Amino acid sequence: MSKTRVAMVTGAANGIGRAIVDRFLSDGYSVVAVDIDSAGLAVILDEIGGDRLAVATADISIRDEVAAAVQVAIDRFGGLDVLAANAAIADGEPFLEISEKSWRRIIDVNVNGTFFCIQESAKVMAAAGKGAIVVTSSTNSWYVESNLSHYNASKGGVVALMRSAAIDMAKLGIRVNAVEPSMVKTRAAFITTDPIGGPEYLKRVPMGRFAEPSEIAATIAFLASDQASYITGQTIVVDGGLTLGIDLPLPAVPLPGSARAVDLESS
């Protein structure tokens, strides 16, 4: 009988992280749910419970707390096969008003914290000779939004970190990939509940809706699975077509030099 796979999910108490926990549990994993929000983790335990779920309160920007969370996976379930490095923070501030404190906090959590999670988890995976890591980046890593310079920069850093980890650890049997969501219906994506801004934003999304957290979790589950066994160092964009290009209106008349224009001139 094969051993149950063990996954650790950061930012697990809400939004995408909670959806990842639910998806991994439904796929048969044992899961360590990690978050700085201990009350939120208590809710997960109360709602789900069971012997395949453990929780660990941790601020991922503190290495020792990350290492302690990884140890929970070892002590409770005997190892760690998958990391979903999902935890991140954001704030909206005009570029010239971003304080050093604000800049450092976002970089500390999103970049340094993701590094700590990858490295501490990979130490366990390397000893086993296999593992899968999926980080949550964002389309903001390259398709930037205004007033989010610190967040945009952090997510760009996460992608470079993911690719670096992937190339260094492929020989250890560890795959590292990323998902890049756009707007997902979570508490951090305030625009999704804005009665004016939300519909205006959706005019730019070809699929005409915001993503569900479960759709991001499904993509992460694929990258973590054996179905993605030859995929590493890659990003999957999950944005409903937002970043495909610009939706232009049709011209009122055929453009000069086109076949239609020539046909019109000769008629």
Report the catalytic residues. 151
What SS3 state is found at 85?
strand
Beta strands in the chain (DSSP E): 6-10, 30-35, 53-57, 82-85, 131-136, 174-181, 235-238
| H-helix or E-strand spanning residue 192 | none
Phi and psi angles of residue 176, each rounded to the nearest 5 degrees, phi first: -135, 125
Tokens, residue 111? 């970049």
Asked if residue 162 lies in contact with residue 180, where contact means CB atoms within 8 angstroms, the answer is: no
N-term to C-term CA, the chain: 76
Measured distance CA(138)–CA(140) in Å, rounded = 5
